[in-house]
Structure 1
C-alpha cells in the first residue's frame, strides 16, 4: 500500500521560479514543501530584467509594492552597427500600459528574491527546508517519493502528490527523470560583468542601453537600477574564460568605457550562452520548470520571466486538479497542457531571441555591413522603435478555445477601473481566478450566463462610459479609466473574453449568446 503523501506539491529549488510556485500554491492553501541545497539568497545579481506580466503576478501575490523599490523602467536599447550607426531600437510601449505596470523593467535580484522567500515563509500551508540536497525520486499511482540528504550526510524521504523541479540549468530533477534537452543551435562564450559605477564613471557612459553589433567584439550594455551597470561581452577565440572572469580580465575589456577609478566590480562570470529546451516537461507526477526546462540567450532579458511564466501556468492547473475543480478523468489531460503550452511558447520565443542574437553576434565584417544596410533599408532609412513586448508570442496550443477568432492565447489587459474606494487595478478587485470580461452591461447578458458564470469565477462588465461601480455575488460592473480593454476588444472584433487564472485568454465571443456557449463549453472541459 502506498504511503499517504506528506504534501500536495514538493518543489525542488528556491530560486525565483521555485519561490513563485510555492507562493501561488501556498496562497491557494495547498500543502507545499520547497527545498533548496543553499541556505541563503545568492548575494549578487544574475537576472536583471522582468516585465509587466511578471510584475502582475507579484501584484496578485500582494508583493508589487514590496518589490517596486528595487525596480526601474528599462531604458530603450539602441543597436549600433559596424560603423557606429544606429540600425535598430527597442523600447517600451507608451502609456496607458496594457497590464497596469511598466512593460519592461530592470531590477536588483537579491532583495527581490529575499522578498519572495519571506512571503513564502509566512504562508501557513508552506514548509521551507533549506540545506537539503535532492538525490533522486520514485513514483507510483498516488504520488512521488523524493530522496534528500542534508549537509551532514543524513538521508531522508518525503512524499508528495506532485513534484516540481525548479533546480536550475544543471537540474538534478531533470536528470533523475531522464529528460533530454533539445539544442536549438546557439553556443557562444560570453563574459558578464556587473559594476557599481560612481558619478565620474556615470558621466562617461551612454544614457541608454546599447547593443554594440561590432564584428570585432559584440557586446551589450544594460542600465540597471541606481548606479548598477551590466556588460555582456563576447569572448574571442583563444581567450581564456577563467582569466576573463578575474578582476584583471574584466577590466581589460571594460577599459573601453571605464576604469577602476570609475566603478567597483560587483560580479563577473564567464558563461556559454545556449538555446536549449527540454524535450519533455512532465513525467508522471513530476514536472520541470524554469532553467531546468529551458535556457536561452540573454538578449531580450527573458530568462527569469520564462521561469515565472512556467510556474504560473502550472500552478493554476495543479490548483484545479488538487482542489477538485477538474474531474479525475480530466486531471491528466489538463496537466499535460502545461508542457504543450509552455514548451511551444519557449521554443518560439527562444527562436526570436536567437534572431536578435544573430543581429548582434555577426563576426564577419562584410556580412555585418550587409546586415546593417538591410535593416536600414527595411526601415526606409529611418530607424523605427519596436516595442520589446511585441517580440513575445502568444500561446498557440493547449487549454484554449481556438474557434477561429483572434484573441485566444494572448495576454488579457489589466485596466485601471472605478473601484468601490476609488481608482484601482482590475485584479485587485476581481481577483486572479477565472474571469469573464465584457463591455456589455450585465442587464444585457443572458440570464443563464449569470448563473453559469457564478460557478466559474468573476463576471466583469466594463461598459463604455460607465462612471460608477456596482457589485454582486461573483460579478461587478464598472468603468475603466484608460480604455485598454475597450481597445483590446475592438482590435479583436469581439465583445467578451474568458480569461484564465494566468491571465491568458481562453476564448473570445462576439455577443452574449456566443459567450454563454463558450462558458458552458469551458465548464464541460473543467467541471
Structure 2
C-alpha cells in the first residue's frame, strides 16, 4: 500500500559520483530535488581512481575545486614498459588548458564524502539512503516513481524529471526496457587497491606484456592500484587467492593482506544505451554507457553528463524552456561518449597487446616512427583523444562558423585572470549560469547597456576582458594568461 504521495521537481536515483554531482549542480542552480540511494550507507569502495580536468571543472561549479580537488594527487604522466623492463615511451603531464591537471588521482570514497558534505551544505536532507525504486512510469508530462524505504513502506513521488544515475546494471534502464549495444571484453582483470606502497611515483605505469599485461596507477595517501589481466583457464576464485596474488605482486611489492583495501575481478565493457531519454526519464553515467578503464574516463563521462543535463533541467523548471531541449543531451553527448569508448578500446589493443602478432606490430610501428618524433608523440601521448566538442545541439553557427578559430560547441579554455586586481580562474568570474564576454571597447559598452541579469532562469554574468600591463597581444589573439577582467 502506498503510504503517501509527494511532488518534487527532480528525482535523482543513485548516490554515486554522477548522482551526487548532478544533485550539487541542481542545488547550485536553485532547483529542488530528492536523491534516492538504494543502499543503507555509502559503499566506500575505491572504484574510479582518476578525475580528469573536465571533471574537476564540473566540480568547480559548486566550489569543490578549492577544497577537495586541491587535495588530490596530480598525475605527472605515464610510462610504458616492454617485457624486458625497458621504458619504450613516456608521456608528460600536459598543459592545464581547462584550469586543472589532466589527471588527478583520487580515492573514490573520499571524493564521494566531499560531494555528500557539500550537498548537505547546499540542500540539507535531500539525500535519502535505503530508498529503492521499484517502479517508474511517465504520464501527462510527469514521472511517477514508486519507492520502498528501509521500513518497507511504499511511497510515490511525482516529479517533472528523473535522472537515472543508478550504475551499469541500472534497474531503471531495465524497467524501461532500454538495451545496451556494444561489446564485452573476453578478458577479465584482477584489480587490487593497496596501502603503504613502496612505489611513490606519480606516474601511471603500463606493462605492455604479451605474457600478462599489467597496470600500476598512483593513488592518494601512499596507496597504489594494480591491475593484471586474467589468462585463459584462470578462474576468479583462483586469482584472488593470497598465494596467487603474492606471485603477481612479487615484482612490485611484498604481498600483505592487511595492506589490500580491495581485491576483485572486473569484466570490462564497451557499451552504450540505445537511447538516453525516455519521456521524463534521463539516463546518465554508467546507466547510459560503459567504457573500459584504459583511458580513465568512466566516472568522468558521467560527470560530463550531469553538467550537460542539469542546467537544461533548471532552464525548463525556472526559465520556461521547452522540455524538448533535453533532446539535445543525447545529440551533444552520444558521439563524444562513443569516441571516448573507442579511445579506451584502442589504448587496450595498441598499448597493451595480448598476442605475439599484436606485440610485433606495436614494436615495429614504434621503431618505424623513430625518424618522425612528432607522429610518434601524437600516438604515444594519445593526442587523438577526442576534444570536448559537441557535434550538434543547442548552438548557433555550429555547422557554419563565422571564423576558422571558432569555439562554438567546444569547451573554452580556463586561463587565470585578474578581476579588480584579484587573481583567480576564469570560471570564478563567469558564474554558474550563462555569461557574456567582451574583449574590446565596443563590446564592453554593449554589455554595460544590457540590463538583463538572468537568462532562462539562470544567472547571466557580463565580463570584460583586456590585456594587462606588460602582457600584450600575441599573434592577434590574447595570451592565455594575459587577461585583466572587470564586471561590465
For Structure 1 versus Structure 2, the TM-score category normalised by the shorter chain is 0.7 to 0.9
Contact 1:93 1:387 in 2 (8 A): no
Partner Cα distance (2:5, 2:221) in 1: 50
Number of residue pairs matched?
466
Contact 1:415 1:481 in 2 (8 A): no
Contact 1:215 1:363 in 2 (8 A): yes
**Residue in structure 2 matched with residue 314 of structure 1 by the alignment:** 309
The answer to whether residue 99 in structure 2 is matched with residue 106 in structure 1 is no
Query: CA 1:418/1:259 → structure 2, altered by over 3 Å: closer, same or farther?
Result: same
Partner Cα distance (2:256, 2:6) in 1: 58
Partner Cα distance (2:318, 2:433) in 1: 13
Query: CA 1:238/1:293 → structure 2, altered by over 3 Å: closer, same or farther?
Result: same
> How many Å apart are 1:325 and its aligned residue?
4.4
Contact 2:415 2:481 in 1 (8 A): no
Partner Cα distance (1:482, 1:302) in 2: 34
> Per the alignment, in what secondary structure is the counterpart of residue 312 of structure 2?
helix
Partner Cα distance (1:117, 1:347) in 2: 30
State the Cα deviation string for residues 321-350 of structure 1 (Å, max 9, x = none). 111242xxx431x11010121121100111
Equivalent of 1:268 in 263, 267, 291: 263
> Per the alignment, in what secondary structure is the counterpart of residue 391 of structure 1?
coil
The answer to whether residue 205 in structure 2 is matched with residue 171 in structure 1 is no
Query: CA 1:448/1:217 → structure 2, altered by over 3 Å: closer, same or farther?
Result: closer
**Residue in structure 2 matched with residue 242 of structure 1 by the alignment:** 237
Unaligned runs of 5+ in 1: 468-478, 491-527
The answer to whether residue 393 in structure 2 is matched with residue 392 in structure 1 is no
Query: CA 1:31/1:447 → structure 2, altered by over 3 Å: closer, same or farther?
Result: closer
Query: CA 1:453/1:412 → structure 2, altered by over 3 Å: closer, same or farther?
Result: farther
Partner Cα distance (1:157, 1:444) in 2: 51
State the Cα deviation string for residues 369-402 of structure 1 (Å, max 9, x = none). 2212203323437563765676133222222231
Unaligned runs of 5+ in 2: 483-488
**Residue in structure 2 matched with residue 281 of structure 1 by the alignment:** 276
**Residue in structure 1 matched with residue 252 of structure 2 by the alignment:** 257
**Residue in structure 2 matched with residue 180 of structure 1 by the alignment:** 179
Contact 1:82 1:368 in 2 (8 A): no
What is the TM-score of this pair, normalised by structure 2? 0.87
Query: CA 1:275/1:142 → structure 2, altered by over 3 Å: closer, same or farther?
Result: same
Partner Cα distance (2:438, 2:481) in 1: 8
After TM superposition, the structure 1 = structure 2 runs for residues 40-439 of structure 1, keeping only pairs within 5 Å, are: 40-68=41-69, 70-94=71-95, 97-124=96-123, 127-184=126-183, 186-198=185-197, 201-202=198-199, 208-260=203-255, 264-326=259-321, 330-332=322-324, 334-380=325-371, 384=377, 391-393=385-387, 394-401=389-396, 402=398, 403-404=400-401, 405=403, 406-420=406-420, 422-439=422-439
**Residue in structure 2 matched with residue 519 of structure 1 by the alignment:** none
Contact 2:472 2:479 in 1 (8 A): no
**Residue in structure 1 matched with residue 485 of structure 2 by the alignment:** none
**Residue in structure 1 matched with residue 40 of structure 2 by the alignment:** 39
> How many Å apart are 1:283 and its aligned residue?
0.3
> Per the alignment, in what secondary structure is the counterpart of residue 269 of structure 1?
strand
Contact 2:8 2:159 in 1 (8 A): yes
Query: CA 1:75/1:489 → structure 2, altered by over 3 Å: closer, same or farther?
Result: closer
**Residue in structure 2 matched with residue 524 of structure 1 by the alignment:** none
Contact 2:429 2:463 in 1 (8 A): no
Query: CA 1:10/1:84 → structure 2, altered by over 3 Å: closer, same or farther?
Result: same
> How many Å apart are 1:451 and its aligned residue?
3.0
Of the structure 1 ranges 150-159 and 260-269, higher mean CA displacement relative to structure 2 is found in 260-269
Contact 1:436 1:453 in 2 (8 A): no
What is the TM-score of this pair, normalised by structure 1? 0.81
> How many Å apart are 1:4 and its aligned residue?
8.9
> How many Å apart are 1:126 and its aligned residue?
6.2
Of the structure 1 ranges 177-186 and 334-343, higher mean CA displacement relative to structure 2 is found in 177-186
**Residue in structure 2 matched with residue 462 of structure 1 by the alignment:** 465
Query: CA 1:416/1:262 → structure 2, altered by over 3 Å: closer, same or farther?
Result: same
> How many Å apart are 1:189 and its aligned residue?
0.7
Contact 1:241 1:270 in 2 (8 A): yes
Partner Cα distance (1:53, 1:453) in 2: 29
Cα RMSD between the aligned structures?
3.0
Query: CA 1:25/1:207 → structure 2, altered by over 3 Å: closer, same or farther?
Result: closer
> How many Å apart are 1:455 and its aligned residue?
5.6
Partner Cα distance (1:233, 1:358) in 2: 15
Partner Cα distance (1:177, 1:75) in 2: 43
State the Cα deviation string for residues 147-199 of structure 1 (Å, max 9, x = none). 1113443222211111011011110011111111011464431011111135x
> How many Å apart are 1:465 and its aligned residue?
3.3
Contact 1:5 1:161 in 2 (8 A): no
Partner Cα distance (1:136, 1:154) in 2: 14
